[in-house]
Every structure is written in structure tokens, then in C-alpha cells.
Amino acid sequence: MTDTTAAATVSPHDQAQILAQAMPYIRKFHGKTLVIKYGGNAMTDPALQQAFAEDVVLLKLVGMNPVVVHGGGPQIENALTRLGKKGEFVQGMRVTDAETMEVVEWVLGGEVQQDIVGMINRAGGKAVGLTGRDGAMIRAQKLRLIDAQDPSKELDVGQVGDILSIDPSILKALQDDAFIPVVSPIGFGENNESYNINADVVAAKLATVLQAEKLLMLTNIRGVLDKEGNLLTELTPNRIDELCADGTISGGMIPKIAGALDAAKSGVNAVHIIDGRVPHAMLLEVLSEQAFGTMIKSR
């Protein structure tokens, strides 16, 4: 059943009730910034892509200021495979030598970004693609990655960046002109070198700098799960430490949780890791009491 068919089965009275129930949330978040980390199935499934674009445009039309930060791991992996190169990860971070960095730049800053921009524009929005180089937005340095097994060792993951500072002025200018920024997680160093930065980290830092009302991180799972596969609807710093220590939180989830917690501690009012496989999950998260994932609390 398509969305149009489903909508046709809802009576005018029920449609009015649905809109009325959204009103308090529209009023509450009007003029507020929402940073959205876009990744996972929502980026690769055509129906979910359309639902995501429609959600972003609707949030903008009702007076909110969405900022989209996207990943692109599968697309980078496909491009590397075509070049006969195999991707390598260390503690959830992609090892990025000079050749891989070139691929990252043209895949994220070109192919993936422009797909998302076009998708939002087709849904009726006015999206603009940016990398951290635009407007000197994201200044970075080489990431010093400490070995999780041996803290005395430092792991070299190449041109992976650690954010030094973010200048949000270009984003604010675009928001004021009714545009929707779409940010690729690429930064630049003091010698104009490029850095591949984890998209979850960029989203979390942007949310902090922009004093966002919400940080919404779309994932391929229901949220953070315990060892039995049960959804953890809320997480505190102490609980996160326990889950990292026993291996429940590992791999790519580590930077996601770390960034989310950092944003929550830095004043972002609500941080949600939500199930991007559910159509319109983001819209339901913002405009209703319905939740589709895990909320990260600062304490």
C-alpha cells in the first residue's frame, strides 16, 4: 500500500485530529534547529529516501531549521572496490590513506551529497550541499586514536580528522534564507590537507555549536540494544560506560554514542538514536510522543 492510498483511507475527521495533535510540537519547535545524521538503510532504500526528503521539507515548511549531515560508508566501499582497494577499519574508524581520501572526497562531497540535495529539492525544498571546506566551516587535525586494548599505544588511521573548531556562520546564513544545508563530513587542516571525519561526530559537534533543540541520528537498528536484543529506550553516562566495558556497544556504535553523549552534555536538549528503517520515523519523533529508538541523557 502506498502512502497516498493509506492517506485516502483516513477520514477527514481523523486527518484533522492528526494535524491538531502535531500543533503543540510545531509551536514548541518553531524556529529551532534540528541536526539530522542521515545514514543507513534510509540512504539506500528508495521508499525511505523519499520519506526522509519529505520529512525534512515538511519540518522546514512548518518553521523549523533542519541541518542534514550525511554519511556514505557503503558508497565509499563500493567505489574502493571498483578501484581494487579494500576498506579497513580500526575501532570503528575508516583507515584513510591519501588514495582513500581522494575517493572519500568525490564520493561524499560529490555523488552522495548531490543525490541528497536533488532528492530534497524534488520534494519541494531548497537544499544546498556543503563540505567542511565551504565557508571555512570545519577545521580539523589528524586524529590521535588511542588503542582501546593498550592505552599506551596510538593507532595511525591516516587522514582521519579530529575537529578543532566549527564556524557555523555559513549554515546560519543559509537557514535565514530558507535553505536546507546538507553537510558532507570533510574537514581541512592548517596546510589545506583534507580530513575524513566520522559523520556522527560532525553531527554531534554541529548540534552543539548551533545550540540545536534536537540531534536525530538515523541508524539501521531499532536503537541501542542490550545483549539480549532488547531496545534500551534511555541511556545515561554510567550505563553507557557499562555497555562499552562489556562489549555491548562496540565498533561503529562507539563514535555514534560518544558524539551523542557529548552533545547531550553540551546543551542539546534532546538526542535520539532512531530507527531509520521505519518510514517517517523522524517526523513521528519530532511531531508526536511516538519514539523509535534510544534517548541519550546527560545524567
Residue 21 falls inside a structural domain: no
Using CA of residue 274, residue 279, residue 283, residue 287, what is the dihedral sign? negative
> What is the value of pTM for the model shown?
0.88
3-class state of residue 96 by DSSP: strand
Q: Which of 193-197, 237-241, 287-291 has the lowest mean pLDDT?
A: 287-291
CA angle at 130 for the pair 125 and 135, rounded to the nearest 5°: 125
Residue 19 falls inside a structural domain: no
C-alpha to C-alpha distance for 263 and 235, rounded to whole angstroms: 13
* Boundaries of domain holding 113: 28-296
Residue 135 falls inside a structural domain: yes
Residue 269 falls inside a structural domain: yes
Residue 226 falls inside a structural domain: yes
Residue 292 falls inside a structural domain: yes
- Asked whether residue 196 is marked as a ligand-binding residue, the answer is yes
Residue 271 falls inside a structural domain: yes
Using CA of residue 285, residue 288, residue 289, residue 290, what is the dihedral sign? negative
- Asked whether residue 73 is marked as a ligand-binding residue, the answer is yes
- Asked whether residue 94 is marked as a ligand-binding residue, the answer is yes
Residue 194 falls inside a structural domain: yes
| CATH number of the domain that residue 126 is part of | 3.40.1160.10
Residue 172 has pLDDT above 70, yes or no: yes
- Asked whether residue 187 is marked as a ligand-binding residue, the answer is no
- The total domain count for the chain is 1
In tens, the pLDDT along 78-137 reads: 999 999 888 888 877 888 999 999 999 999 999 999 999 999 999 999 999 999 999 999
The grid coordinates listed for 232 are 534500551
